[in-house]
Each structure stands twice: as C-alpha cells, then as structure tokens.
Amino acid sequence: MGNIEFKRTLQDLLVPACIITLVFFLRPYVELLNSSPFWFEVGAILLLIIPGFFSLKFKQFKAFYLILSLTMGLTALTITSHNLIPADMATTTVLQQWIIVLIALNLLFIKIFKISGIFTKSSQLFIVIIITEAILLFWGYNTNQFVLVQPALLINIALPFTTNPLISPLALALISVVIVIQLAMLFFQNSSIQTSLLGSLLLLSFAFYFIEQPYMLALAVTGIAIMFSAGIAQDSHDMAFIDTLTKLPGRRSMEQELKQLGKRYCIAMLDIDHFKKLNDKYGHDVGDQVLKMVAKNIKKVSGGGKPARYGGEEFAIIFPGKTLLDVVPHLESVRLHIENTPFALRDKDRPKKLPKKVDKRSKSSQDHINVTISMGVAERTRLDRSTEQVMKAADNALYKAKKQGRNKISY
C-alpha cells in the first residue's frame, strides 16, 4: 500500500471511528429514556433498508448480503430478546446464543465467498444457507432441542466488564476471524465500503458484548446503518469522479473543478508520446502500466496543481490562482521526472518473485521503454476568458509541442 492509499485509508477510517466513539458516548444518556428499547431497535433495523437499497443499486453485492444477513439476524435477536415468542428462559437464552453464532458465521461466509451478483452460484448458495439456518432455528424452538444439543463451545465463559450470558467462545472466535480478514483486505482492496465493513464489525462485536445493556443494540445498529450509508455514498462518488485505472480524478471531477476557478488560473494538457504505437507493439496490459506510471508521477506535481485524467492517454493539470511563469517550472519537473523514470519490460516467463541473487551480467530477460510526455499550457487572459477557451489554447499548445519533436512544454 502506497503513502497516498495509506492516507486515504486513515481518512476513511475516521468516519467509523467517530461513529463508534459517539455510540459509546451516547450509551449512558440513552439509557435514561423511559421508552421501551424495543421500538428503538425496530427503528434501527429499519434504517438498514437505506444502505441495503443503495448497495444493491450500485452493485455492492457483498455489502448487500452482509446487510441482509444482519437485518435477518438482528430481527430474530430482537424478537427473542423481548419475549415476542413464548419460550422458557433456558430455551430463549440458547436460541439467542445460536442467532449470534449464525450471524458471525454468515459474516465469515460472505468474506470467503466471491459474490459478484444476485443470481450467481455463490449468492444462491448463501441464500440456501440462510434459509436452512432459519428452518433449523424454527425447528429447534418448536422441539426444544437446542437446550439438549447445546455444544461445549456455547457454554458461557467468564468475560471481563460484562455479565452477558449470550456471548459464547464460538461467536467471539468467528467475529474475531472476520475482523482479522477485514483488516487484511484493507491492504489489498482499499475503499470506503471496506473501512465501513471493518467499523461495522467492530461495533457489532461491542454490541454483542454489551447486549444486556438497554438500547446498546439499537445504538449499534443505527451506527452500522450510518457507516454503510456513508461508505456506499463515498464509493459511488469515487466510481463517478475517480478514474479506476490511474486513481486520478476523472473528467467529470475536472469539469466540476473548472466551474470553481476564479479570474486567474492556468490549465496544462499532457499527452504520452507515441502511446498508440506502444499499445500496438506491447499490448494493452503494458499500456495500462505506462498510464499508471505516468499518473503516479503527475500526482506528485507541486505548485498547487490539481491533476486529472482527461481521457485515453491525455491528462490535465489545473493551477488555480497561478500565472504561466508560476507553473512552467513545476510542469518541467514532472516532465523530467517521467523522462528519467525507466519503465521495465520483462519476459513473460520471468519469476513472480525476484531472486535473492541477481546476475548483473544477464539482462536479456529485461528491457526498458523510454516514456516521455508532451505538454501544452495556457493561462486565462483577456482574449481567452472562459475555461473552454483556455483549454482550447492549451490543446493548441500541446499540438505545437508534438510538432516540435515531443517531450517538451509549449505555451
């Protein structure tokens, strides 16, 4: 994980951290309410419909099934917690223990399964699992078999800070495994929804740990609904405004930035030299890697520049409040850095991991491409007053740089 991705992960974790802190801050004050916690829990569970709907709409299927599993499990837990079904104390306690274990088990299933749609085999299998669990719970309740078959892993253990009779070693172990998996996933699939999942798992485990306290479940579920909603909203925003390949702001984001510019600014248009020939010769995979490399260097632009991928092999950098003399040194620094960054090509049969000892005399398995860029930059003037006119002037300057031999800045 790079520095930029690490900073982004920390920023995304800030929202779940604030919500978890707020839940524990509000917990003693909410307990002062005279109303029944049942209706608060019902309202909190209904809130899960909002992120559930948007996760399905924006094709966040793992989040959807996780929310579905939580909704069903928490509904069953609320029903049994408030004695809405007739049962003796022993049966109710064991039934609630099994519900918590099954919620944790379902979360583990969702993390392991590759769910990529509603009608895929993995999603159908998961639905079958949920239905089977519901049937087994109903059978256990009606036949009173859960008390008889209560496994050793469900026996209560002495836990610090709580007298909760519902948490079992099995439930704790399953939730802990899911949390560890989610932490590991943040290093490979950094996104707002992933950090929201981690925050939700932590809040859910706290809710189960202190579930005997009034309103704790309602507060936790409310926090989970807010986390999921915020994570899905941020991911949807990124899908619309962030380029997937280069992780730079996309054209739509650039258009929004252009609307906020004042009376003084510069726009630079950048193009990778001979990119089409490179793509035709080495293939699109190499072309994508070149785009990533160039974008990584463009991200480092100084002088207050705001980079974006304009389309294809073309990029743009906006400099609010800057003149032409201000920005040229910063653009030249980017151009030189890309020119001096070697792009390595290796044979297809190269090992995935570098050997401990490298034979410096043998370089036949590796070749290099010299990647360069051409730039055109324009400043807002009395003649070019609108952003469209300034961009056209920058495009003309870019065309001029190409005609003059490429790998240079023109204005």
Q: Which residue ranges make up each domain of the chain? A: 3-241, 251-347+365-410
Average pLDDT of 321-328?
A: 92
Q: Which residue has the higher pLDDT, 96 or 299?
A: 299
For the segment 147-164, what is each residue's pLDDT rounded down to a tens digit? 545 544 455 554 554 455
The CATH number of the domain covering residues in 251-347+365-410 = 3.30.70.270
Active-site annotation, residues = 313
Per the prediction, the chain carries an average pLDDT of 80
Q: For a pLDDT cut of 70, what percent of the chain falls above it?
A: 83
Residue 343 has pLDDT above 90, yes or no: no
- Asked whether residue 336 carries a pLDDT value surpassing 90, the answer given is yes
CB atoms < 10 A from the CB of 167, how many?
24
Rounded distance between C-alpha atoms, residue 388 and residue 17, angstroms: 43
Q: What is the pLDDT of residues 91-120, one digit of tens each?
A: 777 777 788 888 888 888 887 777 777 778
What's at 64, amino acid-wise?
F
Degrees (nearest 5) of the Cα angle 199, 65, 82?
75
pLDDT digits (tens, 9 = 90+) for 375-408: 999 998 887 778 899 999 999 999 999 999 999 9
